[in-house]
Amino acid sequence: MDAEIFNNYIIDIGPMGPIGEGAALILRVTRNCPWNKCLFCPTYKGKRFGHRDVEEIKKDIDTVKRIENLIKATFERVGWPGIIKQEIINMIMIRSYPEIYSKDDYDLPPENYAARLTLNNVVNWILYGKKRVFLQDANSLFMRPDKLIEVLRYLKATFPTIEIITSYARSKTCAQRSLEELKELCKAGLSWLFVGIESGCDEVLKYMKKGVNSKEHIGGGQKVMAAGINLAAFVMPGLAGNNGELTEKHVLETIRVLNEVKPTEVRLRSLAVLRDSPLYLRWESGEFKAPTEDQMIDEIGMIIKNLNFNCIIETLQMTNVLFNLKGELSAEKERILANIASYKALPPIERLRFRLNRCMSDGYLDFVKGWGKFDSQLSRLIEEAKESLEKESPDAETKTEQAIFAIKSKGIP
């Protein structure tokens, strides 16, 4: 198979998508992040932002359609009554087309690996009914509106089953788009924008090099909502660090921004100081003081208590040590606050045991091991924390916080 034919079975896929998009087709419309300066984020560091031409994106959409047709034809040929499981489909496709996907499962050439990644993306989407699409990378709204509209229309014309199209965006970009442009994007099929507000405090935003201020958060968010596009606002408890008055200001100003924007959904993502981020170097030097886990739980409680509008509240990330939920705030508010009160009523040593156990037993540590990032230093910190808790030592809090910080520094599930 020559290179041109081979490339007909590969689409460009970026490094990440948000929690909740497991049913979506991943379609890359821009590459990397046009801002890429946030201290807490390592995802696109060292990578240059790049536009993709509309024709290039349409080619990827055509490739998805080609793979869908190939899957249907293959299953008809082998006599299967229909699509059953992703593993079965992948196995049959790999065995049927080894020139594309390779028979080997290890040390795959880059082309075969990319083809399998694309296949997995398309098969997963088919199994979920071809209803949802997520546009990568960090800020698809950065595309010229007319070009993005052309992509949206072509996508929906090619796959009429699509019901929801989602994307990341920046508040500043939302603020720069006119209301009419956003309404046209909504009409073309853009259903949700996921926006990292992180904080409503201008001092915190400036320190973290977020490249946006609270006024732009509010203006951009209100404009998105007025255009009929659903807005999921990400906020980050702990982002001000352990910094007294600034910490309180971070929370209060974040609440103010959220109450003015009234997004469809609020997603809580407690801070993890990642080793590959610029913020880690500032923590290492002592310039940035990391928040404690109890502090971030208190910040979540303040946010939940003081939101004055109904929305979906979502905490589906393991950095949120106490919560893992998604639901209407009006239905969940009292339960969340009661859970926080019950947790805070525990003796300090029991709160420490609870927090360490959540990281070790509820999946976070398993992810770290799966990433190949469980090393001797982390093992030592965990053992020291466990021993200090068993003995109820005076340094138990310090040891436990160090172990949890180290686990979280490896990455975010």
| Helices (H), ranges, 21-109 | 54-78, 86-96, 98-101
pLDDT at 387 over 60: yes
Domain boundaries in the chain? Answer: 1-129, 170-345, 348-413
Residues 91 and 265: their CA atoms lie apart, in Å, by 38
Among 272, 275, 233, 277, smallest CA distance to 255 is for 233
Residues 194 and 152: their CA atoms lie apart, in Å, by 17
The model's confidence at residue 2, banded by pLDDT at 50, 70 and 90, is: low
- Other beta carbons within 10 angstroms of residue 174's beta carbon come to 26
Among 363, 293, 353, smallest CA distance to 324 is for 363
Q: What six digits make up the tokens of 380? A: 């030592």
The DSSP symbol for 132 reads E
In percent, the amount of the chain with pLDDT more than 70 equals 98
pLDDT at 4 over 80: no
pLDDT in tens, 67-88: 999 998 888 887 776 656 788 8
pLDDT at 286 over 60: yes
CA distances from 11 to 120, 345, 384 (A): 11, 52, 47
Superfamily of domain 170-345: Aldolase class I (3.20.20.70)
Residue type, 382: I
103: number of CA atoms within 13 Å, CB side? 2
The model's confidence at residue 273, banded by pLDDT at 50, 70 and 90, is: very high
Count of residues making up the chain:
413
pLDDT in tens, 139-197: 999 999 999 999 999 999 999 999 999 999 999 999 999 999 999 999 999 999 999 99
Residue type, 160: P
The model's confidence at residue 287, banded by pLDDT at 50, 70 and 90, is: very high
Q: Whose structure tokens read 């809090």?
A: 397
pLDDT at 1 over 80: no
Q: So what's the pLDDT on residue 299?
A: 97
